[in-house]
Amino acid sequence: ATPTSIMVGTGRAAELGVLFRKGDALQALDGCEVVAFDKTGTLTEGKPALVRSEAAPGREAAEVLRLAASAEQGSEHPIARALEQAAEGVLSQPVDSAAIAGHGLRATVEDHALLVGAKRLMDREGIALGALETAHDEIASAGQTPVLVAVDGEIAGVFAVADRVKPGARAAIDALHARGVKVAMITGDTTATAQAIAAELGIDHVEAEVLPEGKLAAVKTLRERFGAVAFVGDGINDAPALAEAEVGIGIGTGTDVAIESADVVLVSGAVSGVVEAVHVSGAVLRNIR
Ligand code: ADP
Ligand code: MG
């Protein structure tokens, strides 16, 4: 592409809220075979809410929720906010609370040992789901995130948190398909949850239960399978994947680290910006060819 056509293209994109931070990103994007999206905060709003509560036999869901929300008080995870908002009664300050990346957290609350997180956290700790297994699987198949709670080494409850898919996400994915681009999703969430959301959005390929440090490896896997990768993400955990991808696309409403690691920034956070970026890139390159 000539410097002039790149200038015109990036200028047109900027008017649509799509900022090309590097001129070569415009050319690289046209060569991308697959667009991979982070799930939480990128395809979904990133503000999950509690939609279902189930207690283990002999437990009370409201009390389990109060303990779990207390345990989450120091956490930055969106799930922590969902539990805190839904909990009733007085929350206690957690002691020794520690995040377990990609799994959940542990803390002591009112002298009880709390574990809050995904099934793989319970698997790791050797805690069986017992009577809650069915509810857990139903929640995940519905595309909601199951949040399991263990108290003193025994399963006590499962809660469903649901995050809305962003308006325009489905249309953007359809538009990418129409251009012959494959679409993938990379997430730390449970496989069944991720697959339900992928089916709703028409996503071709899912990499689920990816640990925070595994997103970069997931980009490499996609490259081997499909070719050049554009990765779209918003979070701190997304920075290495944004840097690894042929084109890193950061969400303007996301974290500073993600934006700094990106080649392209979508100012409004709308998923449709990805389609505009791909469109401008193709138009500029075809003009000069
Ligand atoms: P993602 O942002 O894609 O959900 P994370 O790596 O943050 O990925 O978390 C992976 C999974 O671990 C979450 O989907 C959730 O099930 C669980 N998890 C992580 N942190 C917490 C937390 N503070 N409370 C409850 N569950 C958590
Ligand atoms: Mg995210």
Give yes or no: residues 247 and 221 share one domain.
yes
Q: What is the predicted ipTM? A: 0.95
Ligand 2 center–CA 34 separation, angstroms? 18
Question: Which of 135, 162, 189 is the endpoint of a domain?
Answer: 162
Question: Which of 103, 137, 162 is the endpoint of a domain?
Answer: 162
Give yes or no: residues 172 and 265 share one domain.
yes
Q: DSSP code of 237?
A: G
Give yes or no: residues 24 and 87 share one domain.
no
Q: Annotate 16-41 with b (16+ C-beta within 10 A) or e (fewer).
A: bbbbbeeeebbbbbbebbbbbbbbbb
CATH assignment of the domain containing 41: 3.40.50.1000
Give yes or no: residues 111 and 225 share one domain.
no
Give yes or no: residues 148 and 53 share one domain.
yes
Question: Which of 162, 179, 194 is the endpoint of a domain?
Answer: 162
Give yes or no: residues 187 and 253 share one domain.
yes
Find the domain containing 20 and state its range: 3-45+165-288
Ligand 1 pocket residue status of 118, Cβ below 6 Å: yes
Residue identifier of the C-alpha nearest atom 6 of ligand 1: 102
Domain count, the chain: 2
The pLDDT, as a whole number, for residue 201 is: 97
Give yes or no: residues 169 and 284 share one domain.
yes
Q: Which residue matches tokens 């449709």?
A: 272
Give yes or no: residues 17 and 54 share one domain.
no
Give yes or no: residues 141 and 180 share one domain.
no
Q: Which of ligand 1's atoms lies nearest the C-alpha of 75?
A: 23
CATH assignment of the domain containing 124: 3.40.1110.10
Give yes or no: residues 67 and 116 share one domain.
yes
Give yes or no: residues 171 and 40 share one domain.
yes
Give the span between the Cα atoms of 208 and 193, in whole angstroms: 9
Q: What is the DSSP string of 74-87?
A: G--SHHHHHHHHH-
- Average pLDDT of the residues in 243-248: 97
The pLDDT, as a whole number, for residue 288 is: 55
Model confidence pLDDT, tens digit, residues 80-137: 999 999 999 999 999 999 999 999 999 999 999 999 999 999 999 999 999 999 999 9
Task: Give the predicted TM-score (pTM) of the model.
Answer: 0.92
Model confidence pLDDT, tens digit, residues 145-173: 999 999 999 999 999 999 999 999 999 99
Cα dihedral sign, 5-11-14-19: positive
pLDDT(289) > 60: no
